[in-house]
C-alpha cells in the first residue's frame, strides 16, 4: 500500500517509520493510560507488531511530575506494512515559516542563559524558538514528500478527528528489548551537535564537531544526565556508555549522538520508566529542574507536545520511543513547530541562532533534494 493513497482516503490513522518502510494503522482506540502505566515491562509470547500501545506525551516541566491525564494513549489493534514513497512531481514548492518573536529576542534569551550558567544556576539549557507554517492551505502531501526524502528512522504521523502530529524526528529516546536470559536491556541515544551539510565534505564537518569543545561538553553533560536517569531503573553497575560520539545524517542535517545502556531492574512499570526519564535530557538541560525553571521563564510559548515523546509499547514486551523534535502540531488551523539549541557557558549566541535555523531547514528544504 502507498501511504499517500491511504492518507487521501482516511481521516484517522497512525503511521510509524521503521527503516525504509513503515507501519500504518487505521484501527485503534483512544484509551486512558492508567492501565498501561501500571503494567510491568517484561517479555511475553506474543508476536512483535501484533498490537500494542502508542503513548504520546507532552513536555513536562519537572522530572517525575507527569500527569496521566495529559498523556494520549492509542490502543493499536493491528498494523499494516506500507510503502511511504510518493510521486514528488507536484510537491516542488518550498514551505515557508513565520517565527513567533524576533531573532533579537531569542539571542537576548541566550545571553541571559549564559549569564545564569556563569552564576552557577545550571550548566546547560535547551531554549526553543517557535514558528508556524506560512500557509493555511493543506500541505500534507508536501509533508509526505519530505518524509520520503529524508526517511528519518523515528518518523511519526498521527491524525485523528481532534489531534494531529507530524514528526521527522531523528532521535531515538528509549528502547527496551528482552534477552533469552530474562534480562531486559534499556537504551537511549541522545543527540547533541547538529550542523547543516550544505554540500560540504562530511568528513570535514564531522572533524569540526569532534574538535568543537562546546559541542563536546554539551554532549558529555547530556550523557551524564541520561546515566543518572538510568540509575533509578537499572541494576547497580549495569549502566554503560558504549558510544559517545557517533554520527547520523538525516536529510540536509548531520547529527552527533551517544548511546547509553543499562539492565532494567525487575518489576519496573511503565509509570516507573516515565517518571525516571521524563523530560528527555537532550531537550531540557542540566540539572533538569533548574534548567526547566529558566526555560519556563524565558520561552515565548508553552512547549505542549514539542520536545515531548512518543512511546510504542508492543504486546510482545518491546518498547521504542522518540523525542518529538522536528515536529509539527496542527492546531487552530495552522501547523506549529519549534526548534532549539543547547546553551552552555562557551556558547556564542549568533551561532546558536544559526543552529535553530539549520534544524528548521528540514521543513523548508526542497522535497526533491537528495539526503
**pLDDT for 66:** 81
- DSSP state string for 51-62: -EEEEEE---SS
- Kindly state whether residue 238 falls inside one of the protein's structural domains: yes
How far is it, in rounded angstroms, from Cα 145 to Cα 309?
23
CATH number at residue 96: 3.60.120.10
> Is 146 in a helix, a strand, or coil?
helix
CA 273 to chain centre: 17
- Kindly state whether residue 171 falls inside one of the protein's structural domains: yes
- Kindly state whether residue 61 falls inside one of the protein's structural domains: yes
Domain boundaries, position 271? 3-364
How far is it, in rounded angstroms, from Cα 55 to Cα 234?
22
- DSSP state string for 277-328: HPSPGGGTEESHHHHHHHHHHH-SS--TTTT-EEEEEETTS-EEEEE--SEE
- Kindly state whether residue 240 falls inside one of the protein's structural domains: yes
* Span 197-215, pLDDT tens digits: 877 788 999 998 999 888 8
Read off the pLDDT band of 26 (50, 70, 90).
confident
Specify the number of domains making up the chain.
1
* Span 120-148, pLDDT tens digits: 999 999 999 999 998 767 888 888 888 88
Amino acid at each position: 500500500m502507498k501511504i499517500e493513497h491511504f492518507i487521501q482516503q482516511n481521516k484517522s490513522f497512525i503511521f510509524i517509520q521503521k527503516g525504509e518502510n513503515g507501519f500504518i494503522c487505521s484501527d485503534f482506540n483512544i484509551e486512558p493510560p492508567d492501565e498501561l502505566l501500571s503494567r510491568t515491562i517484561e517479555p511475553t509470547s506474543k508476536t512483535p507488531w501484533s498490537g500494542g500501545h502508542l503513548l504520546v506525551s507532552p513536555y513536562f516541566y519537572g522530572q517525575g511530575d507527569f500527569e496521566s491525564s495529559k498523556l494520549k494513549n492509542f490502543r493499536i489493534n493491528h498494523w499494516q506494512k506500507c510503502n511511504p514513497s510518493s510521486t514528488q512531481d507536484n510537491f516542488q514548492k518550498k514551505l515557508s515559516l513565520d517565527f513567533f518573536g524576533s531573532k533579537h529576542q531569542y539571542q537576548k534569551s541566550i545571553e541571559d542563559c549564559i549569564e545564569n550558567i556563569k552564576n552557577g544556576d545550571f550548566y546547560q539549557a535547551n531554549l526553543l524558538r517557535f514558528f508556524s507554517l506560512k500557509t493555511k492551505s493543506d500541505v500534507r502531501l508536501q509533508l509526505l514528500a519530505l518524509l520520503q526524502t529524508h526517511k528519518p528512522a523515528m518518523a511519526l504521523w498521527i491524525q485523528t478527528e481532534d489531534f494531529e502530529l507530524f514528526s521527522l524526528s531523528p532521535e531515538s529516546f528509549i528502547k527496551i528489548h528482552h534477552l533469552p536470559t530474562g534480562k531486559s536491556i534499556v537504551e537511549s541515544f541522545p543527540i547533541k551537535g547538529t550542523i547543516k551539510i550544505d554540500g560540504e565534505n562530511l568528513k570535514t564537518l564531522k572533524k569540526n564537531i569532534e574538535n568543537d569543545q562546546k559541542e563536546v561538553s554539551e554532549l558529555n553533560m547530556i550523557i551524564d544526565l541520561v546515566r543518572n536517569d538510568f540509575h533509578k531503573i537499572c541494576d547497580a553497575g549495569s549502566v554503560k556508555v558504549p558510544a559517545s560520539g557517533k554520527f547520523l545524517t538525516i536529510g540536509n542535517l548531520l547529527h552527533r549522538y551517544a548511546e547509553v545502556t543499562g539492565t532494567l531492574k525487575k518489576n519496573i512499570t511503565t509509570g516507573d520508566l516515565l517518571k525516571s526519564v521524563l523530560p528527555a535530557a537532550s531537550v531540557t538541560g542540566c540539572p533538569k529542574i533548574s534548567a526547566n525553571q529558566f526555560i519556563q521563564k524565558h520561552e515565548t510559548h508553552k512547549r505542549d507536545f514539542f520536545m515531548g515523546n512518543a512511546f510504542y509499547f508492543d504486546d510482545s514486551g518491546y518498547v521504542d520511543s522518540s523525542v518529538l523534535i522536528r515536529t509539527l502540531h496542527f492546531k487552530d488551523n495552522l501547523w506549529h513547530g519549534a526548534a532549539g539549541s543547547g546553551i552552555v557557558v562557551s556558547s556564542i549566541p549568533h551561532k546558536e541562532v544559526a543552529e535553530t535555523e539549520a534544524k528548521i531547514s528540514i521543513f523548508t528544504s526542497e522535497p526533491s533534494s537528495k539526503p
